[in-house]
Each structure stands twice: as structure tokens, then as C-alpha cells.
Structure 1
Amino acid sequence: MFKGINAIEFSKRFNTNEDCYNYLLKIKWGKDYQCSRCGCKESYKGRTYYYRRCRDCSYDASVTANTVFHGIKMPILKAFHMVFRLTAKKKGMSTIELGTEVGVQQKTAWLFKRKVQAVMKKDKDDKLNGDVEVDESLIGGYSSAKGRSTETKDAMFVAVEILPDGRTGNLALQHIESFKSDELKYAIKDNVSETAQIKTDAFHSYKKLSKEMSNITISYSAKGGAMEQLHKQIMQFKNWLRGTHHQCSSEYLFAYTDEYEYRFNKRNVRKWLFNDVVVRLMNQIPHPYN
């Protein structure tokens, strides 16, 4: 298992395509083999060193078969370099910069990064616990529309854990359609545990929810002072989106919220992120470009 964010050490470990395939072999068949067609657990060498052939049905499977690495339009070494750069850099990379460094077109870098973002999505059972602050925000540039209008901007749900010492724990972000109480209720259920104690501002949708959800406490924001850590995370997300990626369409905002949430919640284990993402890519079905 590779760990660390040192580019020199990474280049020493992964110098050829063969180095990458050998790494994937240990992840996929390091402990045991099982044919994806017939379930047989016995095999022998396939057409190349990174293929395994089933002893019963003779199905010859590549190490990348039935994984997200299947069908990528570049050498596996470049894909590994992309994953490393996306995980080693604290704030990630824009696809223009990523394509330039790895030597592929920006569109190719964007398509592969979407695959990486897809596996960064958290598990449905991974929800915030304890004391949780909840708010909503608008994402987008300048707009002449007044109030919380989603006509030209996107609505986003934000929730953070507040630890006993006042520091921020984990974070949850979700692209939502509107600020209606039903929309916010489902966002809370998707991201926050039922046993959590939720603190919100006095927005009318939360006042309505507090009547049916006993774990919601209303607190007047005092211009953001009442939930300082929460508003700090909202500003940091917006700065990350503008500073690193420059712009993001409404269609793919959900992908960037997944990426930011993954980075933030694993900020203390950055040296393990490369291996974690590669394992996730190997344990999910292919995500075709189309």
C-alpha cells in the first residue's frame, strides 16, 4: 500500500504501467480470486501477467475488468498520476492544470476526474452525529435578484458537527432545489443522524420543521455570530470553488460538493487518500464516459 503525499516517492514507486497493474493485482486478487461469471475460486495465468483465467469456464479477466479503471482512454500510469495529484494536493486541482501536468487534453482530465469524484461520494449510513449546526446558502456569482432567489443561483444545504471543545468535526454538503421546509427536511434526514441535536437559525422553514422534529433548536444567527464555525465552512467552500476550479455549472455542483466533503472529512488522513481512492475505484462498477 502506498501512503504519503511526496511526489518523488510516488514517482519511484510507480514508474511504469507494470508497476500500476501490479498494485491493482494486490488490491483485486491479493487475498483470493473469484470468477465474476461462474464464481470459481481457482485460476491460472491469462493472456498477460495482469489477466487471470478461470479454471472452470476459462473466462479471461483483466485486473481492471468490472472496475472504474475499465475502459479509460489513457495509459494506466497517467491515471495513477491523476489520482495522486488530486489526492496529494490539499485543495485539489483544476482539470486544465491537471491535464497540463499529466499530458492529456483538458476534456480527458475532466472526464477522469468525474470518475474520481463519483467514488468520493460518502456512504448513505455515514451521517453527522452529536451537536450539529445546519444552514443553507446560495452558490453563484452576482445577481440582481433579491432575497433567497434560486432563479440565477443554486441552493446548497450545509451541516457541520461541533465537537465538545468547539472545533469543527465532519461536514455535510448537498445541492438542493429550494429552501422549502420539505426540501430541507429530506436534506437533514440524508445527512444528519436522528439522534443528533440540531441547531439552526430562525429561517421560517426551520421554524416549521421544529414543530415536527423535536431535536431542532432555533437560534437567532446574530449576523453569523451564533454559528461561527458553520458560516466559516460555507465561506471556505465558496473560496475553494472559485479559487481552485474558477466556475461550476449547476449540473455538476453535486460532484464538487461530494469532492469537498470527502477532502474535508479526511483532512487528518491525507497520506492515505491515494490508496483509499484507488481501492474505491477498484470496488465500484465502471462509469462509462457517455
Structure 2
Amino acid sequence: MAQHFLLSAKARTLSLAKVFKMGEDAAYGVFCDMRWPETDGEPICPRCGCTESYHISTRRKFKCVACHHQFSVTSGTIFASRKLSYTDLLAAIVLFVNGAKGISALQASRDLDVQYKTAFVLFHKLREAMQREFAEAKLEGVVEIDGGYFGGYVKPENRKADRKDRRLSLNRSGKRQCVVIMRERKGRSLPFVVRNEGDAVPFVRDHAANLATIYADEGSGWDALHAGWDTRRVNHSVAFMDEGVCTNQAESYFSRLRRMETGTHHHIAGPYLYAYAGEAAWREDNRRVDNGGQAMKLTFGAMASRQSRTWAGYWQR
């Protein structure tokens, strides 16, 4: 039997020990390389685009020769106004990608010796950077679609006679939301959050290529897709696969997301469900990439992202 990828040596190319051994200067160089790859880490003014600048070594800042604007390697990025050292910031990214089912902010706050608030906001900034990969995705080939409901837990009554069927909508809390996943057989995934599964049809129309073949289950919400695509269905009450049609890749995604919810985070608030759904999709798409490659990919995406409108000054509202 073949060995699981995460158990192989190829999956381990970067560790916390290596990050802390490289030191602050080397970690700073990594962020420069990720911010300005086209100039091999040499600074480019974010205001005017000039490639010539003075180095202010005492503060790790630069001053543009043309417009005299002072900036740092994280200015204007999702890490703007950061207070963590570059070593700790890189270590946090490594911790984040090493969790196959995610990592809680509480655990990271202990590992990095920072406040829970710091780890919470930092990880959500990383999740926001992950969302960049899904912005303009247009899925092609065979695309599996499925929906799963998360949140809105209703505690059962103590006595059996008082218990109600929580599967019925009238006995729910009203906070339950549906995560719909579109997933290519090639590997790309696209999640989004809606109220009910059928509400996802407009999103599918926007992000499915015209010649794509859609695999879906027997849910009545997907009936509208037959008008625009070659849509094939499988009735899960009869079989999990019918003549090669299945949604196993979508179910694999939900398996990861549910384990993140129940085993790692324990509770995902409704307004943040989209962020955790995006994180699970990113982890599924990069599950065969070594942890060093994942860390560098996420760092590059974070340095290419603009300053967060949601998480900058989050605790100050």
C-alpha cells in the first residue's frame, strides 16, 4: 500500500527549527524576495514605482529617491503596521500551513507567546490572502458541486419526550448556513456561503465554464443547471457512484471542513464561515505541496495582497 504523502519526507521541507535558526536578517530577506520578486528583493516604491531608494538600516525602512516616500517591506500589504518580528511572522505562517485540519488561534498564541487577539487577527489575514486565488476562478472540465450545512447548533432537550426533530427548518436556530463547493477534477476548488443550497445557482453560472460537465447529487436546487450545462446526477439514497458520476471530491472537501470545525476550532461564527471555507479549499488544492512550498506560496500571496479593510484595527472596531 502506498504511503500517505504527509508521512513522507518530501512533505517536510521547512520546520520551526529552521525558521528560528535562520535569524531575523534571513527572515527579513524572505519577505523582501516575496514582496519584490521582479527585482530580486530590491525595493520598489509603492507610491511612484521608482526602483531607486535609500536604505534606512536602523529602522529597516527605505526612502524613495524620486518622491521621498518612506516605506517598509510590509507597507501597503496585508501585514501593514505589523509589530511581530519577521522571524515570528514567518514562524506563524509555518505553523498555520502545518495544520492539516487547521490550527486554532489559542494554540498559536501559546506557541508564539503572543496574545490570543494577535494570533486570531493574523490568521484571519492569512485566510484573506488565500481568498485571492478564488477571486476570478473559472472552473473547467468535470466540476463537482455539492452543499453542506454548518453552524446553528441546537442543543437537544434533556427529556426524550421534549426533544424535537432538529432536521426540520422550524426547529432550527436560523443561524445555519450552507457552504457550497465547486471542485474541478484537475484540483481547483471554489467555495461560497449561501442561505440554502439552491441559492448557489447564480454563483455556479458565473464560475463554471460553458463547456464544463457538472456532477451533482439529487438535490432539487441543481435542476436549473440542466438548461446551461451537461449536468449529470447521482442519487445518494441509491448509490454513492452511478456510471462514473460521483461527488467524492466535494465530499473530501467537506470532510476536511467538518474536522476543522469539530476538532480544531470547535465553533465557527456565522460572519467568518466564508473565511474558514476558503481556508479548507486552499488546503485541499495544495494538499500535495510540501509545507515549505505552502509557506512560501502563502507568504507571496500575503505580500501581494493590499492592506486589509476588514482586519486592520479589528479590535478598535
Aligned partner of 2:66 in structure 1 is: 56
Aligned partner of 2:204 in structure 1 is: 188
Q: Distance in 2 between matches of 1:190 and 1:101?
A: 42
Structure 1 residue 203 and structure 2 residue 219: aligned?
A: yes
From the superposition, tell whether residues 232 and 263 of structure 1 become closer, same or farther in structure 2 (CA, over 3 Å).
Answer: closer
Shift, 1:119, TM fit: 0.2
Aligned partner of 1:261 in structure 2 is: 281
**Residue identity matched to 2:235:** Y
Structure 1 residue 157 and structure 2 residue 216: aligned?
A: no
- Count of aligned pairs: 278
Structure 1 residue 128 and structure 2 residue 175: aligned?
A: no
Q: Secondary structure at the match of 1:45?
A: strand
**Residue identity matched to 2:46:** S
Aligned partner of 2:296 in structure 1 is: 275
Shift, 1:241, TM fit: 1.8
Structure 1 residue 22 and structure 2 residue 29: aligned?
A: yes
Structure 1 residue 178 and structure 2 residue 196: aligned?
A: yes
Aligned partner of 1:166 in structure 2 is: none
- Counterparts of residues 1-290 of structure 1 (less than 5 Å): 4-13=13-22, 15-16=23-24, 18-29=25-36, 31=39, 33-46=43-56, 48=58, 50-121=60-131, 122-140=133-151, 142-143=153-154, 144-147=165-168, 151-162=174-185, 169-180=187-198, 183-210=199-226, 212-222=227-237, 225-226=240-241, 227=246, 229=248, 230-270=250-290, 271-287=292-308, 288-290=312-314
- The answer to whether the 8 Å contact 1:224/1:231 transfers is no
**Residue identity matched to 2:27:** C
From the superposition, tell whether residues 154 and 217 of structure 1 become closer, same or farther in structure 2 (CA, over 3 Å).
Answer: same
Shift, 1:200, TM fit: 1.6
Shift, 1:82, TM fit: 0.9
Normalising by structure 2, we get a TM-score of 0.78
Shift, 1:91, TM fit: 2.3
- The percentage of aligned residue pairs carrying the same residue is 21
- The answer to whether the 8 Å contact 2:253/2:281 transfers is no
Q: Which segment drifts farther, 200-209 or 257-266?
A: 200-209
**Residue identity matched to 2:82:** I
**Residue identity matched to 2:184:** E
- The answer to whether the 8 Å contact 2:96/2:102 transfers is yes
- The answer to whether the 8 Å contact 1:93/1:245 transfers is yes
Q: Distance in 2 between matches of 1:26 and 1:49?
A: 18
From the superposition, tell whether residues 80 and 133 of structure 1 become closer, same or farther in structure 2 (CA, over 3 Å).
Answer: same
Q: List per-residue Cα deviations over 1:58-104 (Å, max 9, x = no partner).
A: 22221221112211243333222111100123223101101010001
- The answer to whether the 8 Å contact 1:21/1:50 transfers is no
Q: Distance in 1 between matches of 2:33 and 2:225?
A: 49
Q: List per-residue Cα deviations over 1:28-86 (Å, max 9, x = no partner).
A: 34615432333333222236363222222222221221112211243333222111100
Q: Distance in 2 between matches of 1:107 and 1:58?
A: 35
Q: Distance in 2 between matches of 1:160 and 1:150?
A: 29
Aligned partner of 2:8 in structure 1 is: none
- The answer to whether the 8 Å contact 1:94/1:245 transfers is yes
From the superposition, tell whether residues 223 and 156 of structure 1 become closer, same or farther in structure 2 (CA, over 3 Å).
Answer: farther
- The answer to whether the 8 Å contact 1:135/1:158 transfers is yes
Q: Distance in 1 between matches of 2:91 and 2:63?
A: 29
Q: Distance in 2 between matches of 1:280 and 1:84?
A: 14
**Residue identity matched to 1:213:** G
Shift, 1:224, TM fit: 5.7
Shift, 1:268, TM fit: 1.1
**Residue identity matched to 2:218:** A
From the superposition, tell whether residues 193 and 39 of structure 1 become closer, same or farther in structure 2 (CA, over 3 Å).
Answer: same
From the superposition, tell whether residues 51 and 142 of structure 1 become closer, same or farther in structure 2 (CA, over 3 Å).
Answer: closer
Q: Distance in 2 between matches of 1:38 and 1:85?
A: 35
